[in-house]
């Protein structure tokens, strides 16, 4: 799911360029170039200023003032890759020289340039409003814009469909072809856009000579506009954590999964423990798999989740679970009992069970995964494997009622009545009011030929599963003589045990039953037509 960035707060920074200090003696050509460049900056003739300042940089790569002015001139011409590299080279040179004040001046100047682009991205996101994603992409006949593109290029490798400012926008990306298609709201044609993978600033010596001019954004999507501005901001200041946080978020919204991952990873090199970037990385890494899974393209989803684990190993338990879910879905689509189905079920069960070995998995995730693995084997009547998993799970999690309940039911199905009884009684210690556990305990006891206990469990099961609970217990009990005649045995139980905590009534044929529960004592009494029919015993309910 995309990371919600919350309320947008723009940067505030001075746009002033730090004053120039004295510069050291240089070769004549470098000195002349620097002087000329500085004059052209003062005259705001930035193309000529950049030309001469680049000459000065080449002649004297350690000239901090030349690099600083070059960065400014490049930024004025929207040559942001070169500008960012020049800023970074200047800061690194000043740092090596131990000039702390110069470093601070350069960082302020860079922040001023970065802030203009960052704030533009924030403004675009504010215009977008609440963005809602649709996991499905559009499809249509060959007459639709999407149909025409799919016929020519095939299904997109990456895509995004979302609503911003109340209107639906869609992007299809074909990275191998270097192209993206934008489907604007109500448009009859797709807009073709060049696609270049996001790589960040890259090598500084190469980047400083990259004079690519980036025009103002002219597209129709505010989210895409924000991504464009944040990407440019990341060129200007490759050390801005906030920029990477927002860039990773919007690239993920646009379906550019690999680019979003790279943006998050770049930010994490600055602050490895940044939770927001880790969350963005997880969202980006999982988004491709989720889209494929929701589109029921399960084999492709499995590959996507496996690839995501390489980028985001901290979230491995989640990916292992999703892979197991996908195998389970594949099994459901195969013919019942076929080798293909059995193999898919086995892969799902193995995947669920493997979650226990993941150090980052929480106990709740591990318990749920073990339960799912056991269910798969039990449903296939592979009881030994199911019981092996449940015995392990019960040992690890003795207070998990669902695991112990499933263990009891599975052991009963496997004809292990004694094992079933032990597991079910443990489950009833955790919750004596669970009707299903009483049902299977009745069946296990019946299999063990313990008739009296079996009948008691059966009446408890019937009362809890089919009975009608009385709301006015005392009034109901006191009406026993009127309902059942003076010879009823309910009065005797009241005298010895006091009033019950709950009463359930039900019918079987023409016989009327009512079961009284004393949960805190671990007792039950079932009456048939006013006479004691059975007495039950179970672990007393623990007060919450």
**CA separation for the pair 509, 133 (Å, rounded):** 56
pLDDT in tens, 464-494: 999 999 999 999 999 999 999 999 999 999 9
- The neighbouring-strand residues paired with 180 are 173, 193
Q: What is the pLDDT of residue 294?
A: 83
Helices (H), 334-400: 339-354, 363-379, 383-396
What value does the mean pLDDT take over residues 25-35?
A: 74
pLDDT of residue 8: 34
pLDDT value of residue 10 = 38
pLDDT in tens, 345-383: 999 999 999 999 988 899 999 999 999 999 999 999 999
Query: Beta strand pairing status for 523-528 and 191-194?
Result: unpaired
Select from 159, 161, 136 the least CA-distant residue to 256.
159
Q: How far apart are CA 253 and CA 3, in angstroms?
A: 9
What is the residue whose two structure tokens read 């032990």? Answer: 422
Question: What per-residue confidence (pLDDT) applies to 17?
Answer: 35
Q: What is the pLDDT of residue 101?
A: 96
Whole-angstrom distance, CA of residue 231 vs CA of residue 247: 6
Mean pLDDT of 238-250: 96
- H helices, E strands: number in the chain: 23, 10
Number of other residues whose CB lies within 10 A of the CB of residue 386:
26
What is the chain's length? Answer: 544
Residue 493 contacts residue 532 (beta carbons within 8 Å): yes
The share of the chain scoring above pLDDT 90, in percent, equals: 82
State the average pLDDT for the chain: 91
Q: What is the pLDDT of residue 544?
A: 60
At 514, list the tokens.
């009512």
Tokens of 267: 């930010």
The mean pLDDT value for 326-344 works out to 93
Q: Where are the beta strands (DSSP E) in 165-225?
A: 167-174, 179-183, 191-194
d(CA 276, CA 172): 27
Q: How far apart are CA 223 and CA 5, in angstroms?
A: 13
- Grouping H, G, I as helix, E, B as strand and the rest as coil, residue 507 is strand
Task: Give the Cα separation of 309 and 225 in Å (integer).
Answer: 30
Q: Each residue of 193-232: pLDDT tens digit?
A: 999 999 999 999 999 999 999 999 998 999 999 999 999 9
At 74-89, the pLDDT tens digits run 999 999 999 999 999 9
Q: Please list the residues that pair with 168 across neighbouring strands.
A: 163
Average pLDDT over residues 30-50: 95
Under DSSP, the state recorded for 186 is: T
DSSP 8-state code for residue 7: S
Summarised one tens digit per residue, pLDDT across range 162-191 is 999 999 999 999 999 999 999 999 888 999
- Count CB neighbours of 295 within 10 A: 15
Which of 33-37, 87-91, 112-116, 310-314 shows the lowest mean pLDDT across its residues? 310-314
Dig out the tokens for 466 from the structure: 């089919």
């Amino acid at each position: 799911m995309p990371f919600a960035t919350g309320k947008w707060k723009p940067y505030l920074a001075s746009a002033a360029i730090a004053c120039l200090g004295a510069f050291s003696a240089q070769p004549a050509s470098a000195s002349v170039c620097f002087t000329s460049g500085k004059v052209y900056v003062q005259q705001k003739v930035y193309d000529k200023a950049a030309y001469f300042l680049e000459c000065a940089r080449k002649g004297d790569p350690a000239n901090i003032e030349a690099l600083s002015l070059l960065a400014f001139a490049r930024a004025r011409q929207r040559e942001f890759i070169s500008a960012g590299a020049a800023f970074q080279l200047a800061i690194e040179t000043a740092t090596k020289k131990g000039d702390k004040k110069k470093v601070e001046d350069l960082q302020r100047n860079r922040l001023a340039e970065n802030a203009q682009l960052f704030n533009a991205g924030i403004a675009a996101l504010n215009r977008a409003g609440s963005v809602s994603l649709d996991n499905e992409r559009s499809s249509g006949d060959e007459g639709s814009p999407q149909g025409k593109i799919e016929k020519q290029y095939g299904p997109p490798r990456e895509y995004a469909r979302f609503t911003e400012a109340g209107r639906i926008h869609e992007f299809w990306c074909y990275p191998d072809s270097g192209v993206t298609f934008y489907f604007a709201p109500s448009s009859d044609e797709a807009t073709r856009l060049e696609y270049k993978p996001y790589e960040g600033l890259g090598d500084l010596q190469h980047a400083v000579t990259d004079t690519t001019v980036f025009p103002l954004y002219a597209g129709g999507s505010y989210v895409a506009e924000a991504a464009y501005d944040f990407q440019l901001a990341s060129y200007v200041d490759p050390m801005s954590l906030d920029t990477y946080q927002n860039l990773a978020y919007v690239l993920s919204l646009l379906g550019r999964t690999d680019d979003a991952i790279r943006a998050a990873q770049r930010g994490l090199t600055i602050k490895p423990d940044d939770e927001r970037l880790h969350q963005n990385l997880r969202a980006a890494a999982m988004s491709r798999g989720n889209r494929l899974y929701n589109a029921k393209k399960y084999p492709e989803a499995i590959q996507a989740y496996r690839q995501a684990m390489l980028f985001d190993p901290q979230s491995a338990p989640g990916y292992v679970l999703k892979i197991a879910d996908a195998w389970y879905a594949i099994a459901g689509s195969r013919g019942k009992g076929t080798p293909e189905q059995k193999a898919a079920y086995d892969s799902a069960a193995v995947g669920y069970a493997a979650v226990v070995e993941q150090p980052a998995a929480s106990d709740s995730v591990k318990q749920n995964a073990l339960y799912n693995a056991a269910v798969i084997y039990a449903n296939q009547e592979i009881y030994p494997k199911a019981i092996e998993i449940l015995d392990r799970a019960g040992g690890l999690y003795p207070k998990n009622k669902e695991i112990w309940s499933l263990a009891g039911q599975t052991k009963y199905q496997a004809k292990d009545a004694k094992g079933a009884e032990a597991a079910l009684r443990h489950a009833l210690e955790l919750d004596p009011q669970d009707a299903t556990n009483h049902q299977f305990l009745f069946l296990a006891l019946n299999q063990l030929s313990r008739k009296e206990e079996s009948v008691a469990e059966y009446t408890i099961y019937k009362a809890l599963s089919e009975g009608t609970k009385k709301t006015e217990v005392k009034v109901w009990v006191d009406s026993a003589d009127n309902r059942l005649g003076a010879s009823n045995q309910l009065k005797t139980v009241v005298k010895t045990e006091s009033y019950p905590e709950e009463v359930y009534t039900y019918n079987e044929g023409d016989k009327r039953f009512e079961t009284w529960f004393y949960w805190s004592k671990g007792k039950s009494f079932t009456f048939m037509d006013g006479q004691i029919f059975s007495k039950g015993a179970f672990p007393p309910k623990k007060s919450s």
